[in-house]
Amino acid sequence: MKQDLVKKEILEIIGNLAKIPPDKIDPGRNFALMGLDSFLMIEIIFVIERHYSIEIPQDSFGQIKNINDIITVVKRVKRKTK
């Protein structure tokens, strides 16, 4: 259940920033194909970090190609900070 909450929250954050209804976002779709540029991606990562009080390592940025990747990284960082 908690995993679903992280996914829901991240979809809402991205939906708000990208002005896309969260229920219309495909978490597996590449950000570039969604029309999200690197500046918006930086903002999305910043908001997610603030929301969860975490810091996503910069070396993880290259791994993030879609929302599922962000969810995976957020969960990994949250586990490490416990």
| Ramachandran bin of 54, using left for φ above 0, alpha for ψ from -120 to 50, beta for the remaining angles | beta
- Residue 1: band (very low, low, confident or very high) from pLDDT cuts 50, 70, 90: very low
pLDDT tens-digit profile of 23-64?
A: 999 999 999 899 999 899 999 999 999 999 999 999 998 889
Q: Where are the domains of the chain?
A: 2-80
* pLDDT over 90 (residue 80): no
CATH number at 2-80: 1.10.1200.10
pTM: 0.89
DSSP string, 19-75: T--GGG--TTS-HHHHT--HHHHHHHHHHHHHHHT----GGGGGG-SSHHHHHHHHH
Q: What angle do CA 58, 64, 67 make, to 5 degrees?
A: 130
